[in-house]
């Protein structure tokens, strides 16, 4: 390729577009399609494609496909059957229904396919909560759908992202890493061998993301491409060159945001209850910087937790703090606050249920983090707007790939691809 050409990609399991955002921010890529099955994520990504990446509303609806990737043949070729039409016709563009991804791609070459299947089946936390350790979960095998799309479009390279827990997942008694390695190899792609995949675990804070988030980044390259520079060692070496030190702190990420304070009285706005209000002004600003409702008990707990620096206490004291206040008998610590001077812990989708592990570090604010704060910690740009209900916004942010991490990785890959 020449340096004047845009590298094309398809994003599978795109969510709200964390991976796509990073690739597009680099200025080196053109997104041909994004595929996601949860409609709130689809709506958010379509809004971003239209309002920021300057496509028409129709084109955004075309490129961002609302679909279950397990129906790979229909996804690729179109011609959806009656059952599929009943589920997805109303939320997709007619061209996609008729012609699938092939129609979206047209006569263009797909250079890269990126994505990461839902991680719940691979995560250690998810397995611990499931009676069968997620061995029967269909999501263990979604990589097979990813492979089918790769096999059809034959990109030079793919990026497959997931949680480190996938390295120990063994659905059906066979390690998922062995299944993935064999499947990609059988389809003509080389990845790092299963026993060496620990070496490709990347930490988001190394890329300027204010968060200690570990992810396995599996790069796959087509075996039949002959180039002295096109190999896994070169690509991972190029990625390592983009890393920074020291890491970005929480304060650098969210310290500029307007402060929020517990209100003397609970009030309602647009049908929602609020326990906090802005310290200055009357309206919540910027967009998505609205706190979730907390009762008086929780406000006091958050204030006491931060004021007493409970993060640094012994685990038993943390558990007693919770049990004594709530009359419980749990054996697990339920609270954790963020630290201004360090990167955040991993932002997780569980934030859609509660934020007890993400208490704001300012004791006077006595609250958990807002959607805006979670997004900035994930390195979403300041103008990225999350348009769904608060719970879904937290979920999609927690499931996303940090855009800044994706951008650095995409730049490294572009340097290799442009040398071919």
Mean pLDDT in consecutive groups of 10 residues from the start of the chain, 420 residues: 78 97 98 97 98 96 96 96 96 98 97 84 45 45 89 97 88 85 96 96 98 97 91 97 97 98 90 93 92 95 95 91 83 92 96 96 98 98 97 97 98 93
Beta-strand relationship, 189-190 and 214-222: antiparallel
Q: Residue 129's pLDDT is what? A: 52
Domain locations in the chain?
7-244+401-417, 251-398
Rounded Cα gap, residues 387 and 47, in angstroms: 8
Q: Residue 230's pLDDT is what? A: 94
Q: Residue 202's pLDDT is what? A: 98
Do the Cβ atoms of 218 and 166 come closer than 8 Å?
A: no
Structure tokens at 277: 């209000």
Domains 7-244+401-417 and 251-398 share a fold: no
What are the pLDDT digits (tens) for 2-59? 446 899 999 999 999 999 999 999 999 999 999 999 999 999 999 999 999 999 999 9
Q: Largest alpha-carbon pair distance within the chain? A: 69
User: What CATH number labels 7-244+401-417?
Assistant: 3.40.50.150
Q: Residue 5's pLDDT is what? A: 84
Instruction: List CB contacts of 135: < 8 A, sequence separation 6 or more.
Output: 170, 171, 172
Q: Residue 134's pLDDT is what? A: 43
User: What CATH number labels 251-398?
Assistant: 3.90.120
Q: Residue 50's pLDDT is what? A: 98
Rounded Cα gap, residues 178 and 143, in angstroms: 12
Rounded Cα gap, residues 44 and 173, in angstroms: 38
Predicted TM-score (pTM) of the model is 0.93
What are the pLDDT digits (tens) for 257-294? 999 999 988 998 888 999 999 999 888 999 999 999 99
Phi, psi of 337 (to 5 degrees): -105, 160
Q: Residue 42's pLDDT is what? A: 98
């Amino acid at each position: 390729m020449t340096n004047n050409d845009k590298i094309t990609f398809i994003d599978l399991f795109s969510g709200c577009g964390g991976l796509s955002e990073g690739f597009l921010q680099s200025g080196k890529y053109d997104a041909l399609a994004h595929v996601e099955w949860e409609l709130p994520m689809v709506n958010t990504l379509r809004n971003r494609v239209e309002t920021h990446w300057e496509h028409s509303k129709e084109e955004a609806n075309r490129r961002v496909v609302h679909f279950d990737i397990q129906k790979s043949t229909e996804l690729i070729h179109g011609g959806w059957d009656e059952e599929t039409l009943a589920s997805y016709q109303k939320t997709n563009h007619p061209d996609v229904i008729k012609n699938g991804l092939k129609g979206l791609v047209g006569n263009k070459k797909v250079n890269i396919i990126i994505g990461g299947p839902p991680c719940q089946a691979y995560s250690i936390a998810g397995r611990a909560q499931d009676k069968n350790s997620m061995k029967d979960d269909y999501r263990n095998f979604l990589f097979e759908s990813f492979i089918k799309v790769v096999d059809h479009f034959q990109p030079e390279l793919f990026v497959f992202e997931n949680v480190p827990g996938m390295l120990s997942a063994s659905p059906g008694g066979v390690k998922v890493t062995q299944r993935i390695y064999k499947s990609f190899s059988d389809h003509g792609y080389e990845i790092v061998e299963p026993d060496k995949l620990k070496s490709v675990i990347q930490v988001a804070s190394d890329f300027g993301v204010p968060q200690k988030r570990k992810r396995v980044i599996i790069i796959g390259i087509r075996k039949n491409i002959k180039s002295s520079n096109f190999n896994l060692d070169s690509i991972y070496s190029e990625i390592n060159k983009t890393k920074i030190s020291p890491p970005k702190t929480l304060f650098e990420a969210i310290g500029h945001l307007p402060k929020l304070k517990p209100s003397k009285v609970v009030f309602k706005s647009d049908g929602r209850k609020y326990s906090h209000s802005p310290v200055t002004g009357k309206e919540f600003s910027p967009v998505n910087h609205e706190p979730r409702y907390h009762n008086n008990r929780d406000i006091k707990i958050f204030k006491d937790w931060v004021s007493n620096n409970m993060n640094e206490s012994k685990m038993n004291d943390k558990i007693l703090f919770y049990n004594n206040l709530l009359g419980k008998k749990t054996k697990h610590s339920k609270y954790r606050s963020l630290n201004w001077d360090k990167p955040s812990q991993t932002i997780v989708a569980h934030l859609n249920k509660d934020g007890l592990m993400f208490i704001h570090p300012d004791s006077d604010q006595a609250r958990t983090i807002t959607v805006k704060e979670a997004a900035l910690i994930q390195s979403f740009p300041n103008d990225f707007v999350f348009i769904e209900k608060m719970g879904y916004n937290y979920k999609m942010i927690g499931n996303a790939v940090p855009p800044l991490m994706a951008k650095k990785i995409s730049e490294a890959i572009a340097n290799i691809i442009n040398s071919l």
